[in-house]
Amino acid sequence: MKYQHMRPRVDEVVACEPGEVVARIKAHLRRVEGCPYEGQMGGTHLCLKMCDREREFWSPWLDCHIEPHEAGSRIYGRLTPHPSVWTGFMTGYAFLTFVGLVSAAYGYTQWTMGHAPWAFLGVPVAILLAAVLYLGAFFGQRLSEDQMQKLRAFLDDALALPSDA
């Protein structure tokens, strides 16, 4: 399975009500012996993740919202990294943006004062490091590809079964 998004999506319509979808997923979590997944559910929000013994630094979370749809329910969500990993990436982007803007402002100041604008070098360095960070996200996605497929298969299996099976 090749993902083409920074955060791969799940968008599926199933022929049962949102409450039934949640019940099926809860039942499937209980039914699977030695289940390698944990689920957190509140109302129509669902978060599936690998259990502690299976979790790696790059392990994905499946974060879904279940909403009513004319054909039953729509499950919309994203396969994301652990929230602390995602926060780290966003902090990195924010820091590099700050460095790039400060470098540009300082370089402009140097240039207008007739000095050598060496601070402008910070702009391409920040852009290069942001690109490395962006590619790092895809590298992490490749590392977690197997677990993403398993989480998606678990969700598909849960939705294929009745809640009382």
**Alpha-carbon distance 95 to 116, whole Å?**
25
pLDDT band at 128 (very low <50, low <70, confident <90, very high): very high
DSSP assignment of 49-98 equals EE-TTT--TT-EEEEEEEEEETTEEEEEEEEEE-HHHHHHHHHHHHHHHH
pLDDT at 83 exceeding the cut of 60: yes
165 burial type by CB count under 10 A (0-12 exposed, 13-18 middle, 19+ buried): exposed
Chain segment 16-70, per-residue pLDDT in tens = 888 888 888 888 888 877 778 888 888 888 898 888 888 888 888 889 999 999 9
Phi, psi angle pair for 43, to nearest 5°? 65, -115
Chain segment 6-17, per-residue pLDDT in tens = 678 888 888 888
The arithmetic mean of pLDDT across residues 86-93, rounded, is 94
| Options 3.30.310.80, 3.40.1410.10, 3.40.50.720, 3.40.50.12780; CATH of 9-81+145-159 | 3.30.310.80
∠17-20-26 over CA atoms, to 5°? 150
pLDDT band at 1 (very low <50, low <70, confident <90, very high): very low
pLDDT at 103 exceeding the cut of 50: yes
Helices 145-160 and 18-31: crossing angle in degrees, nearest 10, is 110
**pLDDT for position 144:** 87
Domain residue spans of the chain: 9-81+145-159, 85-138
**pLDDT for position 76:** 92
pLDDT at 3 exceeding the cut of 80: no
Note the pTM of the prediction, 2 decimals: 0.75
Q: Which is more confidently placed, 16 or 119?
A: 119
Chain segment 135-149, per-residue pLDDT in tens = 998 888 888 888 888
